[in-house]
Structure 1
Amino acid sequence: MVDNNTQFFKTQPEKTISVEGILEQVYLALKEKGYNPVNQIVGYIMSGDPTYITSHNNARSLIMKAERDELVEEVVRYFIEGKGL
């Protein structure tokens, strides 16, 4: 006898993370591995080369979820708001 029942699978939606959260997690992963996080993140933003970011704690995959211009936007926003402008 042939079983023609369709099987349904529920998948968990991927958790969304803010650009701020991405930068924070990537920063911590780079620092943990002994890199200079600022230099590495700037290198990635300027070149688009993901090898500037360690794969430790999934940081490389994480940073690639945000567009580079979004990363720059977040950094500029953080700076300006910190200055109270």
Structure 2
Amino acid sequence: MDIRNDTQQFSLPKENRTTRDILMTVYNSMREKGYDPVNQIVGYLLSGDPTYITSYNNSRYLISRMERDELLEELVKFYVANQRAD
């Protein structure tokens, strides 16, 4: 039996999807299933309860892999960037 003394490393493949991609996948999945995506996503962001998000198209899994503060940060950045200066 060969005994190894060095530490083995294991890493999961990094998710290549952006926060925006995930939000849009979730949004579109919610619409396809007949839910109000804005209300459902807000419910999830406020409560952290993943049952606000449909499992259709793997949406619940995708959004639960993101930190809620990262999702909020993306939403605020997008909102501010798309406002007209008055």
TM-score category by the smaller chain? 0.7 to 0.9
Which residue in 2 is equivalent to 1:19? Answer: 19
**SS across alignment from 1:39:** helix
- What is the TM-score when the length of structure 1 is the normalising length? 0.81
> After superposition, what is the alpha-carbon deviation per residue over 1:10-45, rounded to whole angstroms, capped at 9, x for unaligned?
xx9354211111100000000000000000000000
AA partner of residue 76 (structure 1): V
AA partner of residue 67 (structure 1): E
Pair 1:35-2:35 in alignment: yes
Which residue in 1 is equivalent to 2:63? Answer: 63
Q: Aligned residues: percent identity? A: 53
Structure 2: any 5+ residue segments left out of the alignment? Answer: 1-11
- What is the TM-score when the length of structure 2 is the normalising length? 0.80
The Cα RMSD (Å) is 1.6
**Distance in 1 between the 2:29 and 2:47 partners?**
20
